[in-house]
Structure 1
Amino acid sequence: MAETALSLFTERGYDATTLDDLCDAVEVSKRTFFRNYRSKEDVALAADSDLWSAYLDYVATLKMDGPLLEALRQALETTLSAMDPDWDRRFLATRELSETAPALQTHSLGYCQDTTRSLVKAVNGSAGADTDEVRLPLTVEIFVAAWRTASLHWTAQGGHGGRDGLMKLVEETFAKIPAALTSSA
């Protein structure tokens, strides 16, 4: 269903594609649609959801030790490597679509906020009792900002290099964090 939705949204435009159009194209009722997705925005952003669901599941299995930002980056690299072979194409199309649809931008930001909260909870649960209530969320926010910066850059490049290109940009962006934190105005 998500693949068909992405195709329809790309061909016709997000706003021009109705839920009825989507349900007709995949031959399901609205009831069936809502068993799988909460909204039209959720199906449009399925590639994002696939990544972050897999990432949060993976992080929940880890025992966090060492520098947290690096552990989060390595977990992202592992998760990206494990995504299905077609994920990069779907993610790129989702990001490009999101740039043209304000409703998707708004939904994406809300989803990002929810995922960030979930990540803080997951890390807090695996890091032990020593976590700082300011440093932990700040580190997670820096992680999210670095990911977002790299993925937006990759999208602006038209997905150059596929997943390997995205992973390289993630690594380069994370490497620039120390200099970014001390840059002058």
Structure 2
Amino acid sequence: MPLRYADRMSTDRLPLRERKKLRTRDDLIGTALELFTTRGFADTTLDELCDAVGVSKRTFFRTFGSKEEVALAPSEDLWAAFLAELRVLDPGDRTVVDLLRAALLTALGEMTGADWAHRVLLGRRLAAETPSVDAYGLYFCERTSRTALEILHTRLQLDDPADPRVRLAMDMLVSAFHLAQEAWAEQPGTPTKEDFAGHLNRMFDLLPESFTLTAPARR
């Protein structure tokens, strides 16, 4: 079973070995984000992180591929859940954009960790300040988009396998997500995942209007 996403099973129902792995992963994420934020990403060594959690570097690399990956792990969890939902969600008569929207909002609702929203914000700030974290985020975004497209092409009956509208729909989802995340991060107070869902819905609702938006030229 993947460590990132427990396939909607309660952790209480997982075998003891898997629960320990998940606890170790959670400890690595929380400690890494704290150290990266207080000491700086570049100034925090992998040895220091592993010592703080009490695990070996071998254990770290069984869980994460790099410091960049652990920094963005909370966001990756959301997108792993999104892909899992996309594999099972009934398309019905929904548009592709609406199907993607439903999968993302369902995945967001499954982010149950008490610190998940806070950790996402910390990771976002690290990406804004650290080129290597930002580059990893872009790589992950593209990889996730390609996987989502593969799922859509597998599950949907498309007349043309190369139909660009499927990619356009995915790109609209990504754009709506980024704009929602920006608005969410900038709102006053302590942002919650419910706030995030509200921003996402607003951006999705604005998509049709963006195609008909007109404005006079400045004089």
Normalising by the smaller structure, the TM-score range is over 0.9
Distance 2:199 2:145 in 1: 21
Q: Which residue of the partner structure matches residue 60 of structure 2? A: 33
- Does the aligned pair in 2 maintain the 1:5–1:43 contact within 8 Å? yes
Higher relative contact order (CA closer than 8 Å, sequence separation 6+): 1
Q: Which residue of the partner structure matches residue 37 of structure 2? A: 10
Deviates more, 1:50-59 or 1:154-163: 154-163
Whichever residue aligns with residue 153 of structure 1, its letter is: A
Q: CA deviation at 1:49?
A: 1.1
Structure 1 residues 45 and 136 mapped into 2: Cα distance closer, same or farther (>3 Å)? same
- Does the aligned pair in 1 maintain the 2:128–2:134 contact within 8 Å? yes
- Does the aligned pair in 2 maintain the 1:96–1:155 contact within 8 Å? no
What is the CA RMSD across the aligned residues, in angstroms?
Answer: 1.7
Correspondence 1:70 to 2:98? yes
Q: Which residue of the partner structure matches residue 139 of structure 1? A: 169
> 4+ residue stretches of structure 1 with deviation over 4 A?
158-161
Distance 1:119 1:158 in 2: 33
Q: CA deviation at 1:159?
A: 6.8
Q: Which residue of the partner structure matches residue 119 of structure 1? A: 148
Sequence identity of aligned pairs in percent? 37
Whichever residue aligns with residue 148 of structure 1, its letter is: H
Q: CA deviation at 1:163?
A: 1.1
Structure 1 residues 158 and 92 mapped into 2: Cα distance closer, same or farther (>3 Å)? farther
Whichever residue aligns with residue 91 of structure 1, its letter is: V
- Does the aligned pair in 2 maintain the 1:63–1:126 contact within 8 Å? no
Q: Tell me the alpha carbon deviations over residues 66-116 of structure 1, each in whole angstroms, 9 at most, x when there is no partner.
A: 211112111111111111132112112211222211111111011000000
Whichever residue aligns with residue 102 of structure 1, its letter is: P
Distance 1:76 1:103 in 2: 26
Whichever residue aligns with residue 175 of structure 1, its letter is: D
Correspondence 1:84 to 2:92? no
